[in-house]
Amino acid sequence: MPTVSKGDGMRGLAVFISDIRNCKSKEAEVKRINKELANIRSKFKGDKALDGYSKKKYVCKLLFIFLLGHDIDFGHMEAVNLLSSNKYTEKQIGYLFISVLVNSNSDLIRLINNAIKNDLASRNPTFMNLALHCIANVGSREMAEAQKQICFLTWICSCFQGVVTAATSLITTLAQKSPDDFKTSVCLAVARLSRIVTSASLDLQDYTYYFVAAPWLSVKLLRLLQCYPPPEDAALRSRLTECLETILNKAQEPPKSKKVQHSNAKNAVLFEAIALIIHHDSEPNLLVRACNQLGHFLQHRETNLRYLALESMCTLASSEFSHEAVKTHIETVINALKTERDVSVRQRAVDLLYAMCDRSNSKQIVAEMLSYLETADYSIREEIVLKVAILAEKYAVDYTWYVDTILNLIRIAGDYVSEEVWYRVIQIVINQDDVQGYAAKTVFEALQAPACHENLVKVGGYILGEFGNLIAGDPRSSPLVQFNLLHSKFHLCSVPTRALLLSAYIKFINLFPEVKGTIQDVLRSDSQLRNADVELQQRAVEYLRLSCIASTDILVSKNSAKRASSPSLGFNDALNLNSTPSSGASLLVDVFTDLSNPAPTEGSDEHFTRFVCKNNGVIYENQLLQIGLKSEYRQNLGRIYVFYGNKTSTQFLSFSTSVTSNDLLTPQLNVQVKPVDPLIEAGAQLQQILNIECVSDFSEAPVLNIQFRYGGTLQNITVKLPVMLNKFFQPTEMTSQDFFQRWKQLGAPQQEVQKIFKAKNQMDTDVAKAKLLGFGVALLDGVDPNPANFVGAGIIHTKTTQVGCLLRLEPNTQAQMYRLTLRTSKESVSQRLCELLSEQF
Amino acid sequence: MMQFMLLFSRQGKLRLQKWYVPLSDKERKKISRDLVQTILARKPKMCSFLEWRDLKIVYKRYASLYFCCAVEDQDNELITLEIIHRYVELLDKYFGSVCELDIIFNFEKAYFILDEFLLGGEAQETSKKNVLKAIEQADLLQEEAEAPRSVLEEIGLT
């Protein structure tokens, strides 16, 4: 055990420390410490006032116990008491205890502050010293202001080196906070710096550290100069430049000592000077020299220097003057990346590669970073992934390379690819048409690897769902193959990925009708329909239903985010939330349940009449088949969606339909029938679209013929298609003045048709209103002096002409009769409309 | 500026801790634990600098003790390395061929020497001669019973 010969021994303390060190186990140590703590506690609480020496000894012991790692919850008061002692050693121990153990939140701060104030006020410099130390290390706000001023003045007129060093630190911190106040310090700093740098080795003896003149002060002055922009005064600027050049020159000279301390000190000044040069960013000559110097260091023997060189070069790379110079070292940096054993140095190399990347070397750098990623430390992978993604996107000349890079990223470090990265790649693929096919192909190939990362499945699922059709031509990537590939990964994925895959499947159904059956089987399986996760179950159910009843057109309009939504059909749409309700009082066809209204059987015309004022409903039903309709009309065009529902548990085979019109009707009305599947599964529904064009006004109706084979027997059904003239009505609003004017204009006998008839149903105003609106006219209020009468106007659109129509319906509730007057510019139109409308009441 | 300095043994025992930023006890303990583990995990030939949280750590191993400083982002690492070396030199001169035991038994002296050299996280007196002189004076003061004479007078500076 070394003997302590200097100063006051405090032998008790030495004994205590030896005891602790001799303890054989942790428990023994704790026991000894507790014994001592109890002893000290009793001494502090005791009646006898402790003398200064004992107090000092005990406080010191407490400090030691604290340093061992145990908490001290008493003794602070005694330490503060020591502060007010007159003896230097006691004060010293008191201050030491305070600075180690007390932080600024303690209650004793006020007492401590008082003690410090007293010491500062005392004339005794040593006491002032201790007090200042405490302030500096513990940091009380009140003392700060006074220090600022004192310090600055001292600095300006001091030639005492040590003080200057200390003061410079303070000035630097203050200059960072309020640079304008300390502008004059720049000039002084440059002066002092040049004195140091150009000094002969005999000056500044005391402050020469291993043959380097005052390294700490030089570094501090250079730091201070970094708080300010390059000096405006030309003389000052040139002096500074001279300084920096001298420093750079010194770096080239042979070393004066073999010791590492010498080179460390010398290089410390050099690095700080380079930092200043980079900060100023104004002298291209200096920047290039700095870059070259750093380039040398990149291959230095010492790891520390290589590390620092890489770090400094990072900042250098962002300056426009030196960017090119930095790029010349790319091979060295890449080599460092591959061969350095120290992970922190490799990390610096990655940062530098990222900083020096631009269009000319992006491919090379990204390739290197990717190969590094394969063996990189796990803690830094996420950062590297992000860097590679950013570089790939920023400098991608053609997007195929970008797609390749990101897919590689996912393959190598899939876990660390955050969501933003793969969202971005999908965003880019969707917006760049020319890369879509390539992306689909690459993703398809990547998915064939036996073990794919889940992120790859997500990206692959999305891209194949959107653009799988681009590669479907090749038999190796036919739709079925694509689907099987995706589905093979299905069970390995987490819930969000599975949800994404289900969406991809419905997109497949849209793109490739031939795999519809296979996919439907998958959706129909219990594992989907009864899946524990609500999201998956909902998607499976809805997609299955959607695939069964919808035609490709609907799916296209609903699924694709790119295309504008087609006019809504008003039935329960699971995906499109912007459905506009159908006009008037028409019924909605409920896709999932049967209608409650009894449907007419074959041959009856009743259904036909029902459809005059409404567009949707069931038009026919028997034991086997239910036919529903949804129609929409615009001007002289119309479209009817016919739904054939198989009510049985047997398939309908050889299903075919046709629409026939008699000779009169054929030129007046064009009906185009879209082809339909010859097979309707049991319980399934088939949809057919009929496009209608009204060429001229007509009074007949086309007939829909249906034929199919059910269980061996051939079925034949005919239904009158409810297409009437009023379907092509466009309601027209007008003022009463206009109305009467036109009414008079249409006064010719053939233009008017009037009918008086008995009301068939109960006379109800609202029902009548609804019927008139359903008929297609606009109801005009305030035209007829009698409020009970109805007045309407509209235009019949045909391909050849447009016929304006005015009507007036006068109910006579007492007699339960109506008088209907119709005036149009064409007799046949008036006739037909009157006929149609009168049947409704 | 230096935020803190830790000295610890190969077994992870803290021999000295000097903090220049206000932190609660709990935080200090946590930082010390984390940092000691990180540094002890490093191999001998590795670089003396590393990035840890948002600080730069500069460390060097002298015999059985690790000297570890945490500096801020803009600070110069090499000069910090030399600060550590200067401190070791001071200890060496004072104790005469210093070893870990000296620091254990005279921890308060180690603190005093550090305080003479570093102030508020920055080096305040870089002349070895002056620091050691100041410490000697302080030691003399300890032996005096009465009020001490002005130290500055003694070194002849006022």
Average pLDDT over residues A332-352: 86
What's the whole-number mean pLDDT along residues A20-46? Answer: 87
Which of B:129-148 have CB within 8 Å of A? Answer: 129-130, 138-139, 141-145, 147-148
* Alpha-carbon gap: B22 to the closest alpha carbon of chain A (Å): 6
* Interface contact flag, B142 A89, Cβ < 8 Å: yes
A14 in contact with B, Cβ within 8 Å: yes
Which of B74, B81, B151 is nearest residue A125 as measured by Cβ atoms?
A: B151
Mean pLDDT across chain B, nearest whole number?
Answer: 85
pLDDT grade, residue A103 (50/70/90)?
low
- For the cut 50, the answer to whether the pLDDT of residue A833 exceeds it is yes
A266 labelled as ligand-binding? no
For residues A244 and B34, give the distance between their C-alpha atoms in angstroms, rounded to a whole number: 40
Q: What is the pTM of this model?
A: 0.58
Domains plus CATH for chain A? 11-146 (no CATH), 179-350 (1.25.10.10), 360-432 (no CATH), 453-550 (no CATH), 610-723 (2.60.40.1230), 726-839 (3.30.310.10)
Is residue B135 within 8 A of residue B113, CB to CB? The reply is yes
pLDDT average, residue stretch B106-112: 89
* Two structure tokens written together for A657: 């339909």
Question: Where is mean pLDDT largest: A435-444, A520-529, A599-608?
Answer: A435-444
Annotate A758-826 with three-state secondary structure.
ECCCCCCHHHHHHHHHHHCCEECCCCCCCCCCEEEEEEEECCCCEEEEEEEEEEECCCCEEEEEEEECC
Record the tokens describing residue A187, joined without a space. Answer: 């000039």
How many Å separate Cα A702 from the centre of its chain? 55
pLDDT-derived band at B156, boundaries 50, 70, 90: low
Domain boundaries, chain B: 1-147
Residue in the block written with tokens 């410090």? A116
* pLDDT given for residue A573 in this prediction: 34
Spatial CB neighbours of A785, under 8 Å, sequence gap ≥ 6: none
- For residue A279, the number of C-alpha atoms closer than 13 Å in the C-beta half-sphere is 18
Main-chain phi, psi angles of B48, to 5 degrees: -80, -5
Rounded to 5 degrees, what are φ and ψ at B98? Answer: -65, 145
Indicate the Cα dihedral angle B41, B47, B51, B57, nearest 10°: 80
A86 interaction partners in chain B (CB closer than 8 Å)? 147
The whole-number pLDDT of residue A332 equals 87
Q: What are phi and psi of B145, to 5 degrees?
A: -85, -35
State the amino acid at position A278 in one-letter form. I
A720-768 pLDDT, tens digit each = 888 888 888 888 888 888 888 888 888 888 888 888 888 888 888 888 8
Extended strands (E) in A294-396: none
Question: By percentage, how much of chain A surpasses pLDDT 90?
Answer: 0
3-class DSSP assignment, residue A645:
strand
Measured CA to CA, the distance from residue A620 to residue A629 in angstroms comes to 9
Closest CA to A11 of B112, B106, B136, B92: B106
Count of alpha carbons within 13 angstroms of residue A840, beta-carbon side: 24
- pLDDT digit string, tens, across residues A554-604: 544 444 433 333 332 323 333 333 333 333 222 233 333 333 344 444 445
Of B46, B51, B108, the CB nearest to A93: B108
Mutation pick from A26, A57, A264 vs chain B, by most beta carbons of B within 10 Å, is: A264
Interface of B with A in 46-105 (CB under 8 A): 46-51, 74, 76-79, 81-83, 85-86, 94-95, 99, 101-102, 104-105
**Nearest-angstrom CA–CA distance, A467 and A430:** 9
Q: To the nearest 10°, the Cα dihedral for A830, A836, A838, A840? A: -150
Chain segment A271-286, per-residue pLDDT in tens: 989 888 888 888 888 8
- Burial of residue A139, with CB atoms counted within 10 A of its CB: 0-12 exposed, 13-18 middle, 19 or more buried: middle
Q: Which pair of structure tokens corresponds to residue A838?
A: 């009168």
Q: Tell me the pLDDT band of A94, cut-offs 50, 70 and 90.
A: confident
For chain A, helix (H) and strand (E) counts, in that order, are 34, 16
Q: Phi and psi of A137, rounded to 5°?
A: -90, -30
- Report d(CA B134, CA B157) in Å as an integer: 13
Residues A185-242 have pLDDT tens digits of: 777 778 778 777 777 555 666 677 777 777 888 888 888 888 888 888 888 888 888 8
Cα–Cα distances (Å) from A387 to A139, A369, A410, A599, in that order, read 40, 9, 14, 67
Whether A93 has its CB under 8 Å from any CB of chain B: the answer is yes
* Nearest by Cα to B83 from B106, B59, B99: B59
The CA R_g of chain B, rounded to the nearest whole Å, is: 17
A59 appears as a binding residue in the annotation: yes
Q: Does B11 touch chain A (CB under 8 A)?
A: no
Q: How many CB atoms lie within 10 A of CB A307?
A: 26
Confidence of residue A292 (pLDDT cuts 50, 70, 90): confident
Least confident among A20-24, A162-166, A691-695, B10-14: A162-166
Assigned architecture for domain B1-147: 2-Layer Sandwich (3.30)
Confidence class for position B71, pLDDT limits 50, 70, 90: very high
Mean pLDDT highest for which of A111-120, A580-589, A773-782?
A773-782
Q: Does B111 touch chain A (CB under 8 A)?
A: yes
Give the integer Cα–Cα distance in Å for A709 and A701: 26
Which among A22, A126, A134 is the top mutation candidate for probing chain B, defined by the most B β-carbons within 10 Å of its own β-carbon? Answer: A126
As a whole number of Å, the end-to-end CA separation of chain B is 30
The sign one gets for the Cα dihedral A559, A562, A566, A572 is: positive
Q: What is the separation of C-alpha A499 from the centre of its chain, rounded to a whole number of angstroms?
A: 19
Token pair recorded at residue A45 = 């609480």
B33 — pLDDT class (breaks 50, 70, 90): very high
Per-residue pLDDT at B116 exceeds 50: yes
On the question of pLDDT at A166 being above 70, the answer is no
The H helix count followed by the E strand count for chain B is 6, 7
The DSSP letter of residue A86 is: S
Q: Measuring CA to CA, which residue among A296, A247, A249, A293 is closest to residue A270?
A: A247
Of the candidates A512, A434, A509, A445, the residue with the CA atom closest to the CA atom of residue A477: A445
Q: What angle do CA A786, A613, A806 make, to 5 degrees?
A: 45
- Of the pLDDT bands very low, low, confident and very high (cuts 50, 70, 90), residue A148 is low
pLDDT above 70 for A539 = yes
Q: Render pLDDT for A790-823 as a digit per residue (tens, 0 to 9).
A: 899 999 888 888 888 998 999 888 888 889 998 9
Structure tokens at B31: 């930082």
B41-69, pLDDT tens digit by residue?
A: 988 888 899 888 889 999 999 988 999 99
Q: Residues, chain B, total?
A: 158
Q: What angle do CA A300, B35, B3 make, to 5 degrees?
A: 85
